[in-house]
Amino acid sequence: MKKLYFLLPFIFLACKSSTTTTSEKDSQSNSKPIGINYKVSETEISDFLKYLSSDDMEGRETGTKGIEKAAVFLEDFLKKNNIKPYFKTYRDTLTNFKSPAFNIVGVIEGTDPELKKEYVVLSAHYDHIGIEKKEQADKINNGANDDASGVTAVAAIGKYFSETKSNKRSILIVFFAGEEKGLLGSKSLVEKLKKQNFNLYTQLNIEMIGVPMKRDYLAYVTGFDKSNMADKINEYTGKKTIGFLPKEAEYQLFYRSDNYSFFQAFDKPCQSISTFDFENFDFYHHVSDEFKLMDIPHITSFTQELLPAVTKIAVTSTQEITMKK
């Protein structure tokens, strides 16, 4: 997640709070959720996240040798799973960063001749903040939660669609660089997509899902009241998957991740999904944000629970997720 300069003084105070507030706008399922037989592999989730957040990646700072290793890893994953490049190659060069830097972008074409012209964007940022300059025992900011966890979930969902071919709409799989530098990767990409008259339906950006919340819902979306996304996801899963987190609204997290670049450019429902609630993880932008602290069963079940929701988003005959006035 992009550095929250205004937030850091409050994080540990927030971690001491035990107050839980839930939305009074809980949705009720109005349609039968899609049955999903596909099972997300806990072993694959673990292996993917462990490698992406390993010391070999040197904290994945944009423009470094470490993030180059991560880029190759992600390219290889997409190729192995038959997810085609959206551009000529998987690499989308950032136009707003001085050193060579790349978003990694793949596409899963929709199966419906008309709906495939519309796109669902599934995204997460694969960059982090790199190596500490001061001398200390551990200098690598591995960024397991922020946001290797989100990348892992997006990759797993991409694999699901590449194998099942269950998406009528086309799905753009995006791993952003430059998020920690000021949302540079998403800002660069949306400029190119706008010039192509890219037909965006909605974007689901996954940000910091490495540990669960102790609440009566699985996750929250940023900008809860900007669209009906939360209600529709809950309808599609048949569960209270998404709730309202007051801290998200207080700190305006909607504006702090790559969903915001897409919202600005397309004025469509573009939101981030997260389970970081300021009480469940003390190591935001810290060298202790490491794989060993990640809850692999939680990440696996989170990904599994999203599958029917993303599937419904990709197959409904009309665009049911809409902006609120």
pLDDT reported for residue 4: 61
Which pLDDT score, from 0 to 100, does residue 55 have? 98
Q: What is the pLDDT of residue 166?
A: 97
Q: CA angle, 122 as apex, 118 and 128 as ends, to 5°? A: 145
Q: Which residues contact 4 (CB under 8 A, 6 or more apart)?
A: 251, 256, 284
For the cut 90, the answer to whether the pLDDT of residue 7 exceeds it is: no
* Domain 20-315 CATH class label: alpha beta
pLDDT in tens, 159-202: 999 999 999 999 999 999 999 999 999 999 999 999 999 999 99
Across 258-275, average pLDDT: 98
**What mean pLDDT comes out for the span 77-93?**
98
pLDDT of residue 195: 97
Q: Strand 170-176 and strand 119-125: pairing? A: parallel
pTM value surpassing 0.85: yes
Predicted confidence at residue 17, as pLDDT, reads 34
* DSSP 8-state code for residue 32: P
Over residues 128-145, mean pLDDT: 95
User: What is the three-state SS of 123-185?
Assistant: EEECCECCECCCCCCCCECCCHHHHHHHHHHHHHHHHHHHHHCCCCCEEEEEEECCHHHCCHH
How far is the C-alpha of 35 from the C-alpha of 37, rounded, in Å? 6
The domain locations on the chain are 20-315
Q: What's the rounded Cα separation, in Å, for the pair 3 and 257?
A: 10
Residue 68 has pLDDT above 80, yes or no: yes
Lowest mean pLDDT among 21-35, 211-225, 273-287: 21-35
